[in-house]
Amino acid sequence: MKIIRYQDSSGAINYAAETSDGAFRIEGDLFGDYSVTEEAADVAKLLAPVDPEIILCIGLNYKFHAEESGMPAPERPVLFVKGRNALQHPGDPIEIPTKLASHKVDYECELAVVIGKACKNVSKEDALDYVLGYTCANDVSARDWQIEWGGSQWTRGKTFDTFAPLGPRLVTSDEIGDPNALKIKTILNGETVQDWNTNDMIFSVAEIVAFLSGSTTLLAGTVIITGTPHGVGMARKPPLWLKSGDEVTIEIEKIGQLTNPVINEA
Ligand code: MG
C-alpha cells in the first residue's frame, strides 16, 4: 500500500491510502490496527509521511561513497542522529543556515526505513518483519559543521532545521520487496548528480535494523536513514554546494520523488 500523511482543509492531520482511484482516508493507528475508509482524502497539504520521535542515521554505508570520502569502509554501522526539528515536508524548503552560517550545504539521497512495531535485539533474519515501509530521505549535511567544526562527530552539521526532508509517501514492505535492490538518485536543478542502487550498501537494511536494535529499543515510528551512494557535492571537483534558488529531488524506485526548493534561513 502507498500511504500519505496530510493536513486537510480544517487543519486536521490524517493518513490516506493512495490508489488508482484517488486517495482514501485511513482510520485508526498506522502502527496498530487501521482500515482504509471510502472517504476521499481532502488533501490541503502533503506532509512528511511520518512524524518520528527520532531519526537514526547511518553514515558511510555505500562502498563507492566511502571511497570518495577518503574513509575506510566501516567495520560496523556508523550511527548519528537527527532531531525531530530537522523534519521537512515534501515541497517545503531546505534552509541554508545563516545564523550559525554554513557555506557547504550538501545533498544525500537515502532510503528511509520506518519501524512499524517496537523491537529490541532482533536477528538479521527477523529484522524486516518490524519494518512498516519505506520512503525517500534527503540527509542534508552542512559539511563545515559536520567535519571542520563538529568536534569529531557529525550531529551539529546534520540536524539543522529542515535538514531531514522525508516523503512523498510511505510504501509498505510488501510492495517494496527487497529493500536492497532499488534504484536511487538525486536530481539537482534537473541534472542527475547521484544515480546508483541500494544493492551497494555495505550493511543491508536487515543488518542495520538488527544492529540498531541491539540492547536498544526501536520504537514504532522510528525512522532510519541508511546512507548515501557516491556523487555527493563535497566529493565533486569543484565541490557542488546547495544554494538559494536550487531545487533538489530524491528519487527511489517503487517510491517516487521527494522535491524541495532551497532558500536561505530568514
Ligand atoms: Mg547520509
Q: Report the separation in Å between the CA atom of 29 and the middle of ligand 1, taken as the mean of its atom positions.
A: 30
Percent of the chain with pLDDT over 90: 95
Q: Report the separation in Å between the CA atom of 35 and the middle of ligand 1, taken as the mean of its atom positions.
A: 34
Contact 82, 55 (CB under 8 A): yes
125-152 burial, b at 16+ Cβ within 10 Å, e below that, comes to: eebbebbbbbbbbbbbbbbbbbeeebee
Instruction: Please state which of the ranges 42-46, 148-152, 240-244 shows the lowest mean pLDDT.
Output: 148-152
Whether 182 has a pLDDT exceeding 90, the answer reads yes
Q: How large is the average pLDDT for residues 204-225? A: 98
Mean model confidence pLDDT for the chain: 97
pLDDT, position 131: 98
Q: Report the separation in Å between the CA atom of 123 and the middle of ligand 1, taken as the mean of its atom positions.
A: 24
Q: Report the separation in Å between the CA atom of 171 and the middle of ligand 1, taken as the mean of its atom positions.
A: 21
pLDDT, position 262: 98
Q: How large is the average pLDDT for residues 155-177? A: 98
Cα–Cα distances (Å) from 145 to 59, 91, 150, 155, in that order, read 15, 25, 5, 9
Q: Report the separation in Å between the CA atom of 149 and the middle of ligand 1, taken as the mean of its atom positions.
A: 18
Q: Report the separation in Å between the CA atom of 61 and the middle of ligand 1, taken as the mean of its atom positions.
A: 8
Q: Report the separation in Å between the CA atom of 121 and the middle of ligand 1, taken as the mean of its atom positions.
A: 24
pLDDT, position 70: 85
Q: Report the separation in Å between the CA atom of 119 and the middle of ligand 1, taken as the mean of its atom positions.
A: 23
Whether 64 has a pLDDT exceeding 90, the answer reads no
pLDDT, position 125: 98
What superfamily in CATH does domain 48-264 come from? Fumarylacetoacetase-like, C-terminal domain (3.90.850.10)
Residue 164's beta-bridge partner residues?
A: 87
Q: How large is the average pLDDT for residues 192-217? A: 98
Q: Report the separation in Å between the CA atom of 77 and the middle of ligand 1, taken as the mean of its atom positions.
A: 12
Q: Report the separation in Å between the CA atom of 45 and the middle of ligand 1, taken as the mean of its atom positions.
A: 27
Q: Report the separation in Å between the CA atom of 86 and the middle of ligand 1, taken as the mean of its atom positions.
A: 14
Would you kindly state where each structural domain of the chain is located, as residue ranges? 1-47, 48-264
Q: Report the separation in Å between the CA atom of 115 and the middle of ligand 1, taken as the mean of its atom positions.
A: 18
- Grade residue 65 by pLDDT with cuts at 50, 70 and 90: confident
Whether 211 has a pLDDT exceeding 90, the answer reads yes
Q: How large is the average pLDDT for residues 119-128? A: 98
Contact 34, 28 (CB under 8 A): yes
Q: How large is the average pLDDT for residues 180-194? A: 98
Q: Report the separation in Å between the CA atom of 142 and the middle of ligand 1, taken as the mean of its atom positions.
A: 11
Q: Report the separation in Å between the CA atom of 19 and the middle of ligand 1, taken as the mean of its atom positions.
A: 31
Percent of the chain with pLDDT over 70: 100
Whether 154 has a pLDDT exceeding 90, the answer reads yes
pLDDT digits (tens, 9 = 90+) for 15-53: 999 999 999 999 999 999 999 999 999 999 999 999 999
Whether 69 has a pLDDT exceeding 90, the answer reads no
pLDDT, position 217: 97
- Grade residue 73 by pLDDT with cuts at 50, 70 and 90: confident
Distance CA 171, CA 133 (A): 5
Q: How large is the average pLDDT for residues 141-151? A: 95
Q: Report the separation in Å between the CA atom of 26 and the middle of ligand 1, taken as the mean of its atom positions.
A: 32
Q: Report the separation in Å between the CA atom of 132 and the middle of ligand 1, taken as the mean of its atom positions.
A: 21
